[in-house]
């Protein structure tokens, strides 16, 4: 997701995908011994779409990270 942002793309991880595993696996050639954990939309966001204007509260990085020199 960070690599996508670095290239001007936007992402949206979606853990709802595993519910549709039976339909997705044959399309993507995923083996029977493999499991879908998460999907991810990749593309360019529409800045004018109302759903893209939501800015949720976030814990600042310093609140859950310790940087060591
Ligand atoms: C691992 C992961 C799985 C997610 N799965 C879903 C999902 O199945 N459906 C959904 O509507 N949002 C899902 N979300 C939330 C959205 O991807 C997204 O994080 C949310 O809309 C807030 O956007 P933002 O992270 O850019 O603030 C998931 C987020 C993460 C991190």
Q: What is the pLDDT of residues 9-65, one digit of tens each?
A: 999 999 999 999 999 999 999 999 999 999 999 999 999 999 899 999 999 999 999
Does residue 40 fall inside a structural domain?
yes
Q: Give the separation between CA 4 and CA 11, rounded to whole angstroms.
A: 7
Total domain count for the chain? 1
Give the pTM.
0.76
Q: What confidence tier does 69 reach under pLDDT thresholds 50, 70, 90?
A: confident
Does residue 68 fall inside a structural domain?
no
User: For residue 62, what pLDDT is reported?
Assistant: 93
Q: Indicate the DSSP class of residue 13.
A: E
Does residue 69 fall inside a structural domain?
no
Q: Give the separation between CA 30 and CA 18, rounded to whole angstroms.
A: 12
Residues near 11 by Cβ (< 8 Å), separated by ≥ 6? 1, 4, 5, 40, 41, 42
Residue whose CA is at the smallest distance from ligand 1 atom 29: 13
Residue whose CA is at the smallest distance from ligand 1 atom 18: 12
Is 66's pLDDT higher than 90? Answer: yes
Q: Which domain holds residue 58?
A: 2-63
Q: Give the separation between CA 53 and CA 10, rounded to whole angstroms.
A: 14
Ligand 1 centroid to Cα of residue 45, in Å, is: 14
């Amino acid at each position: 997701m960070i690599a996508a942002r670095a290239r001007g793309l936007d992402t949206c991880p979606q853990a709802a995908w595993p519910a549709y595993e039976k339909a997705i696996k044959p399309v993507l050639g995923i083996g029977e011994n493999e499991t879908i954990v998460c999907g991810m939309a990749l593309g360019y966001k529409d800045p004018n779409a109302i759903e893209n204007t939501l800015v949720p509260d976030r814990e600042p990085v310093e609140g859950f990270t310790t940087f060591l020199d």
